[in-house]
Chain A
């Protein structure tokens, strides 16, 4: 099992550019989410999905867009990159939303906005 796969691992963008961070999981998990982690801090939830076709906003959704057309994939789109979006982005999945279900994380995408 590959688990949660994120691509690319590193990316440098210029201010105003757009891009899509890819996330795929092969565990047939219903729940998927995107977090960002700034230096020395914990993870903050950007967007999440409880199943194909269903998405919702987390704590810091501004400047990001998501869609969930399949169970496996949950891409994150930066609409117009800003330096404040320089961060490490993690995608996670879990079998369900029940409190005893652990989340499985990818290895992250390190994004720099110049």
Chain B
């Protein structure tokens, strides 16, 4: 099963954009790239997903490298409520997904 690599933690200032990187060099052609976030004492929350093209929704943007070996989750203006653990996972269908330790995002006021 393909795995992802993320930094353990990142820090951002409030109101500034945040770019959360994810490496997935062994991604297969059928793997979708999903991002989830987990707020304290809550379950993971779906953020965004994509296959090849960049994606935007109300929560964030997803930029996918042309070779699909890496991706970046972009929060356009970080708020204190965005402080969470962000998980980048690959989903080829079924239950072949692996949630790693994710990136803990700290947002400073």
Residues of A with Cβ closer than 8 Å to B?
A: 4, 31, 33, 35, 40-45, 48, 50, 58, 90, 92, 97-108
Contacts A97-B94, A99-B92, A102-B34 given; does A42 touch B99 at CB 8 Å? yes
Contacts A40-B101, A42-B100 given; does A105 touch B95 at CB 8 Å? no
Could you name 15 residue pairs across A and B whose Cβ atoms are closer than 8 Å? Answer: A42-B87, A42-B99, A42-B100, A43-B99, A45-B95, A50-B94, A58-B95, A92-B44, A97-B94, A100-B51, A103-B44, A105-B43, A107-B41, A108-B41, A108-B42
Q: Which residues 72-102 of B sit at the A interface, judged by CB distance below 8 A? A: 87, 91-95, 97-102
Residues in A neighbouring B46, C-beta threshold 8 A: 102-104
Q: Which residues 26-73 of B sit at the A interface, judged by CB distance below 8 A? A: 30-32, 34, 36, 41-46, 49, 51
CB distance from B106 to the nearest CB of A (A): 15
CB distance from A48 to the nearest CB of B (A): 5
Residues in A neighbouring B36, C-beta threshold 8 A: 103
Decide if A99 touches B99 in the complex (CB within 8 Å): no
Chain B residue nearest to A33 (CB atoms) is B95
Contacts A100-B51, A107-B43 given; does A41 touch B93 at CB 8 Å? no
CB distance from B94 to the nearest CB of A (A): 5
CB distance from B7 to the nearest CB of A (A): 14
Chain B residue nearest to A58 (CB atoms) is B95
Residues in B neighbouring A50, C-beta threshold 8 A: 94
Contacts A41-B101, A42-B100 given; does A99 touch B95 at CB 8 Å? no
Residues in A neighbouring B97, C-beta threshold 8 A: 45
Residues in B neighbouring A58, C-beta threshold 8 A: 95
Contacts A42-B100, A42-B101, A43-B99 given; does A98 touch B44 at CB 8 Å? no
Residues in B neighbouring A100, C-beta threshold 8 A: 32, 49, 51, 91
- Which of these, B30, B43, B87, contacts A106 with CB under 8 Å? B43
Assembly CA distance A58 to B99 (angstroms): 13
Decide if A105 touches B32 in the complex (CB within 8 Å): no
Decide if B30 touches A97 in the complex (CB within 8 Å): no
